[in-house]
A = this chain, B = another copy of it.
Amino acid sequence: MDASTGRDRDFTVVGRALAAPARSAMVGLLMDGTARPAGELARAAGVGAPAASEHLAVLAAAGLVTGRARGRHRYYALAGPEVADALEALGALAVPVPAVGFRRTREADRLAAARFCYDHLAGRLGVGLAEAWVTAGWLADPEDLALTGAGADGLRGLGVDVDGAVAARRPTTRACLDWTERRVHLAGSLGAAVGARFLAAGWVARSSGRGLRLTASGRDLVRDTWGVEPVGGTGIGGTGAPTVVSAASGRA
């Protein structure tokens, strides 16, 4: 309250909300888009139930999460896709963490290869698919990755509930910036539908938390159909390997 001329956007509320390690951990757990009961979040954050309850109240007040009572549990989830997007962008800043040590690097590598971002595919798999579908003419490449007619047919052929996605109130397609690849992947209701289909068809399987493991059938599918190979070999060195085999640059 005060200060100079034009008051800008105030980062205080969301900053305070993310400041506490326990809250940061909770939000990190919810980044996969799932809704989890307060007790589980408390256990994961390493705090007692009362502290967790207050933390969740703070997060809710900041507009980052919402809670819905179901039965005698209370399920908390991220308030919306835009929250996941902003957090994803924030994550791109925090990389300087050295991240040495076996478990951490293995885990970080798995997340970089394929993971769920709120409710859609991300990581090298996500950006690879998005780029391949753009070059294939399934997605128009303006900033929102709009779905083309060919794309609707193609995705329907994969078993994706395209019609349900376009009927949803959310934007059908949106571009979400990836914090590992620094390139966009497909979000929005269609992104969610694609993610759900990949999971239901057994092309990907949840590993730890938001991490995803590409199954054998999924690996074959994405490699043979679109030339995407997100499991870039050793993984040492991280972001290096190119995602798509076929050329994606040049004229659109």
Chain A residues proximal to chain B, CB less than 8 Å:
2-21, 24-25, 27-29, 31, 44-46, 63-64, 82-83, 85-87, 89-94, 96-97, 104, 107, 110-111, 134, 140-144, 146, 148, 175, 177, 179, 183-184, 208-211, 248-249, 251-252
Contacts and interface: CB of A to CB of B under 8 A. Distances in A.
A12 B183 CA distance: 24
Given A9-B94, A209-B6, A142 B252 contact: yes
9 tightest A-B CB contacts, nearest first: A15-B18, A8-B28, A9-B91, A89-B89, A6-B107, A15-B19, A11-B18, A5-B208, A143-B184
A180 to B, nearest CB: 10
A212 to B, nearest CB: 12
Contacts of A14: 15, 18, 90, 93-94
A133 to B, nearest CB: 12
Contact of A24 (B11, B140, B210, B211): B11
A8 B93 contact: no
Nearest to A96: B63
Contact of A143 (B31, B90, B143, B148): B143
Contacts of A148: 251
A5 to B, nearest CB: 4
In this complex, the member of A15, A25, A46, A141 whose beta carbon has the largest number of chain B beta carbons within 10 angstroms is A15
26 contacts: A3-B25, A4-B29, A6-B111, A6-B208, A6-B211, A7-B28, A7-B107, A8-B29, A11-B18, A11-B94, A12-B21, A13-B94, A14-B90, A15-B19, A82-B92, A85-B89, A86-B93, A89-B90, A141-B143, A141-B252, A143-B175, A143-B183, A144-B183, A175-B184, A177-B177, A252-B252
